[in-house]
Amino acid sequence: MSAALVKPASADGARKPASADASNPFSFALGDAIRLALDARMAIDVRGSDDSTDSNADTTRRRIGVDGSIGTRVDFAIERELDGDHPWRDIYGDVRLQKSLRLRAGQFKLPFSLEETTGVKHLDFVDRSLAATQLAPGRDVGVMAHGRVWRKRLEYEGGVFRRDGDGPSPRHPERTSGTRTTAGRLSIEPFASAKRSIGDLHVAFAATTSPLSEGISNLRGRTAMGERFFPATYWASGRRQRTGIEARWRPGPFRVTAEYMRVTDQRRGQALDGSDLAPLTASGWYVAGVWRVPRSIGPGSHSRIELAGRVERLAFGSGGTGVMSLNPRADRIVSADDRAVTLGLNWWITRYAKVLVNAVHERVRPAGSSLPTTTWTPVFSVQLGL
């Protein structure tokens, strides 16, 4: 549960600051000057395994945070994990400069990927899609202008960030990822004025670009269970570019989301003789659907059941010519991919407690292997939050 206590600008239903939510019993106000909303979250995930002795239960996320507003122009959010090497998550302020222009500064998620920028409370599956988890940039320190124009049908977000997300691991100093990153997203609700359900259709295009210093690209592929299927061994240098398209539609009790994203890392001067290699590419997509069962099961008005399904693919490779090779300087590297189908049942017991049951079927073709492997993995999650 990567909770976004203050939901990001483009997240599902995230336009209004939580502190303004009068129905939230954990929000406080000091007159009209300051409003605060507290949040805390915990999730316990149990993941199955082909090996019956190897299922594991983890208290995977424990987070606290506060968000709110000061006056009518300034919003803010602070969130951190209770443990971990990098506990601080969101720390930012967001100032309204004009009616359609806001400025956000601090550490927050780059505007890329509908799912990645959606708070965990609103996710339809235990885990985000493979593409959103591994190809979207995540959080970094930066400054971003954003706002809505054209009678709020068009939303823009554009900013400059210190790096391309969370940055390289100090355990692997030879690895490289994007440095100063420019990111932007344009979201549109083209039929917003329509009275039919099509009026809810949301489509967005996003892109990031950043210089990539010489090193081993940190692009790597892991399955839903965290097994490596594409190693981070390929040298890169030049630019990292990321493009994405996303869509969401919520007709009646249904909710359909889809995304496609692609990352390319240039490999300038990385051949054995110092010439350029074909770029390293990673691409992924998913299509997900949710049906909200009309009858509520459990106590309270928030209790509900949802049935969910998702198909997705995450693939790595390169263009280039010659023999496919695991050579970290090969023009044409050995490709790898993971295709997954996830079936889910979500039970909102109360406003504060949710149970998710997922079954994940994966067909993985690891780099260097001609034989794909297929697995079914059950995943169970209990999530508690204010």
Applying CB under 8 A, which residues contact another protein?
A: 49-51, 214, 223, 225, 227-229, 235, 270-274, 322-330, 334, 362, 364, 366, 368-371, 373, 375, 377
Q: 23-28: long-range contacts at Cβ-Cβ below 8 A with a sequence spacing of 24 or more?
A: 26/386, 27/68
Which is nearer to another protein, 47 or 240 (by Cβ)?
A: 47
Which is nearer to another protein, 198 or 326 (by Cβ)?
A: 326
CB count within 10 Å of CB 131 equals 27
Which is nearer to another protein, 223 or 381 (by Cβ)?
A: 223
Tell me the C-alpha distance between 136 and 114, whole Å: 10
**Please, what is the minimum distance in Å from the beta carbon of residue 377 to another protein?**
6
Burial class (CB in 10 A: 0-12, 13-18, 19+), 374: exposed
3-class SS string, 298-318: CCCCCCEEEEEEEEEEEEEEE
**Please, what is the minimum distance in Å from the beta carbon of residue 13 to another protein?**
34
Which is nearer to another protein, 205 or 376 (by Cβ)?
A: 376
**Please, what is the minimum distance in Å from the beta carbon of residue 329 to another protein?**
5
Which is nearer to another protein, 49 or 197 (by Cβ)?
A: 49
Which is nearer to another protein, 75 or 338 (by Cβ)?
A: 338
**Please, what is the minimum distance in Å from the beta carbon of residue 33 to another protein?**
53
**Please, what is the minimum distance in Å from the beta carbon of residue 120 to another protein?**
23
**Please, what is the minimum distance in Å from the beta carbon of residue 269 to another protein?**
9
